[in-house]
Homo-oligomer: A and B are copies of this chain.
Amino acid sequence: MIQVDVNTKQQSYPIRIGTGLLAKPENYAPLKANDKVMIVTNPTVAKHYLDTVTQALTQLGCQVDSVLLPDGEEYKTLESVNLIFTALLEKKHSRDSVIIALGGGVIGDMAGFAAASYQRGIRFMQIPTTLLAQVDSSVGGKTGVNHQLGKNMIGAFHQPIAVIIDTNTLYTLKKREFCSGLAEVIKYGAILDLPFFEWLEQNMADLMALKQTALQYCIQRCCQLKADIVAKDETEQGERALLNFGHTFGHAIESHLGYGQWLHGEAVAVGMLEAAVLSSLLGDLTQQDVARIEKLLIQAVLPTGSPETMQATDYLAYMQRDKKVIAGKLRLILLKQLGQAYISSDITQQQIIDSITHCSQSAITTYNANEC
């Protein structure tokens, strides 16, 4: 088992990474005998892992309840979170109880927000079961739900007391979901860590084949990079914004297509390439390095051009609406060079259009997710 420590003002907590962690009671520390826990999950994940987790916790001496929420981003709502509150109240959970998120980012975000808000805050543990949740959403304490009028508009910063990553869970995950998570993995290399980017270039095949050594090193490195950033900037005032590389473009794609068409990582993949092209048009990133990012995305069976139905000009309206707009100015994360990102706030609309157009022309625009 590998351990990565996250230190924030709110909370210091371990991320445990390894195979078969879920079956062993001792991996659930600081949970202990007589703790009351509420597992939040969904039917898809419950089918595979709820029994294992319940058994391990029962063995530990915990009192275990669980609540199943409907599966899907479209259910990441206040109403679903309210189902968690109802379950907690029906089973008489107090301020001492612990919520456990067992699932992907959708479950993690909702369970975390419920923990932040139930009786004004109770403890909470993450058991992420998608690659995206393991390398990204389960670490750092961002929690929340969507509103009809915008994604992730409601939420709280609430750090978990521990994150348990059992890499075996990735074997039951749909391949397309796995590939989507790889977009975030590539992101870490591109914005923060050239050696890791190079490691990815060498080990992408092993990752795609779900080889344990590669998987665990990859997840560890991503968690470490995210933990370092979160420790420095818990509530996203500055440096943490670098993690949004590719996301402003990506969100535009997600909004344009509507939920459930492209996966988050797929949109981010294209967004990263567009941001990389913009960086090269500004004279920072070399064209070779843009090509290296593109190649890595293709190896991870991710798209590298806008959806067919989307023109460069379509991006602009969505991008203006982005949460990262400060005092009306659009902030974009760009690359100075591979492994080094910065926050730019004086990009013109024309530059955005140029980079999108440039990117789409050079890319494989007819992405077929089924190939993944």
Q: Which of B78, B86, B153, B156 contacts A147 (CB 8 A)?
A: B86
Q: Is A174 an interface residue (CB 8 A)?
A: no
Q: Which of B121, B144, B325 contacts A156 (CB 8 A)?
A: B121
Whether the pair B156, A116 counts as a contact (CB closer than 8 A) is yes
Whether the pair A144, B120 counts as a contact (CB closer than 8 A) is yes
Number of copies: 2
Whether the pair B147, A96 counts as a contact (CB closer than 8 A) is no
Q: Hey, which chain B residues are within 8 Å of A144, CB to CB? A: 117, 120
Q: Using a CB-CB cutoff of 8 Å, which residues 98-150 of chain A contact chain B?
A: 113, 116-121, 142, 144, 147-150
Bound-complex Cα distance A89 to B146 (A)? 12
- Given A85-B147, A86-B149, A147-B86: A157 in contact with B325 (beta carbons within 8 A): no
Whether the pair B94, A323 counts as a contact (CB closer than 8 A) is yes
Interface centre among A116, A117, A147, A321 (most CB of B within 10 A): A117
Q: Is A209 an interface residue (CB 8 A)?
A: no
Bound-complex Cα distance A96 to B323 (A)? 10
A-side interface mostly: mixed
Whether the pair B120, A156 counts as a contact (CB closer than 8 A) is yes
**What mask results when residues 142 to 177 of chain A are scored 1 for a CB within 8 Å of chain B, else 0?**
101001111001111100000000000000000000
Whether the pair B119, A85 counts as a contact (CB closer than 8 A) is no
Which residue of chain B lies nearest to A117 when distances are taken between CB atoms in the complex?
B154
Whether the pair A78, B86 counts as a contact (CB closer than 8 A) is no
Bound-complex Cα distance A90 to B148 (A)? 11
- Given A85-B147, A96-B326, A327-B96: A157 in contact with B90 (beta carbons within 8 A): no
Q: Which of B92, B113, B148, B325 contacts A321 (CB 8 A)?
A: B92
Whether the pair A148, B86 counts as a contact (CB closer than 8 A) is yes
Chain A interface extent, by class: 35 or more
Whether the pair B85, A153 counts as a contact (CB closer than 8 A) is yes
Q: Which of B85, B89, B119, B149 contacts A89 (CB 8 A)?
A: B149
Q: Hey, which chain B residues are within 8 Å of A235, CB to CB? A: 120-121
- Given A94-B323, A323-B94, A323-B95: A118 in contact with B86 (beta carbons within 8 A): no
- Given A82-B78, A142-B120: A147 in contact with B323 (beta carbons within 8 A): no
Whether the pair B90, A149 counts as a contact (CB closer than 8 A) is yes
Q: Hey, which chain B residues are within 8 Å of A323, CB to CB? A: 94-95, 119
Bound-complex Cα distance A64 to B108 (A)? 36
Q: Hey, which chain B residues are within 8 Å of A148, CB to CB? A: 86
Bound-complex Cα distance A321 to B118 (A)? 15
Whether the pair B326, A94 counts as a contact (CB closer than 8 A) is yes
Q: Hey, which chain B residues are within 8 Å of A150, CB to CB? A: 89
Whether the pair A118, B78 counts as a contact (CB closer than 8 A) is no
Bound-complex Cα distance A120 to B155 (A)? 5
Q: Hey, which chain B residues are within 8 Å of A82, CB to CB? A: 78, 147
Q: Hey, which chain B residues are within 8 Å of A154, CB to CB? A: 85, 117-119
Bound-complex Cα distance A157 to B156 (A)? 11
Which residue of chain B lies nearest to A154 when distances are taken between CB atoms in the complex?
B117
Q: How far is the CB of A328 from chain B (nearest CB, A)?
A: 9
Q: Which of B78, B95, B96, B142 contacts A78 (CB 8 A)?
A: B78
A-B contact pairs, 17 of them (CB 8 A): A78-B78, A82-B147, A85-B153, A89-B147, A89-B149, A90-B149, A94-B325, A94-B326, A95-B323, A95-B326, A96-B327, A113-B117, A117-B144, A119-B323, A120-B142, A120-B144, A121-B235
Q: 3 tightest A-B contacts by CB?
A: A89-B149, A120-B155, A117-B154
Known: A94-B325, A113-B117, A117-B117. 7 other contacts (CB 8 A): A82-B147, A85-B154, A94-B323, A95-B323, A120-B155, A120-B157, A120-B236
